[in-house]
Amino acid sequence: MDRFMRVAGVAEIKPGKAKFIHLDGMGIAVFNAGGAFYALEDCCAKDGASLSAGLLVGTMVECPNDGARFYLPTGECIDPLTLRSVTSFRVRIEGDEITIERKETKKPARLYPFPLEHGHTQARGAYHYLS
């Protein structure tokens, strides 16, 4: 399977604009910052707002709700009050197509019910998580 997937045509995203796409169960914002394309997880690390609806300034996007700013090439948060960054994706232009690299996702932990040993009900809970 090719790790890069087509997400839009170059002409679809005008300079200074963004496009929301869904890839592998995740919302991703694809930005055109003066002809350079970037892709970030479309979820503000501070309040969960859509970054594709944010204000694009140079190589930064500002969250439309709380003003947290993220650096497009890395997803790093520039706002000192928000310590978490968002996931960034490698972007490649192939002809007039924008492709982004798919991230390998770790399978979520599965929940298995196990009988509890007597005396351990509060410490262990009703279920155990196995990865």
Higher pLDDT, 80 or 125: 80
Cross-strand partners of 93? 98
pLDDT at residue 124 tops 60: no
The answer to whether residue 131 scores a pLDDT higher than 80 is no
- Cα(91)–Cα(86) distance, integer angstroms: 15
pLDDT of the residue at 64? 93
What value does the mean pLDDT of the chain take?
Answer: 82
> pTM for this one?
0.76
Distance of CA 10 to the CA centre of its chain: 20
Q: What is the distance between the alpha carbons of residues 30 and 72, in angstroms, rounded to a whole number?
A: 10
CATH number of 4-106: 2.102.10.10
Given a contact cutoff of 8 angstroms between Cβ atoms, the answer to whether 127 and 109 are in contact is no
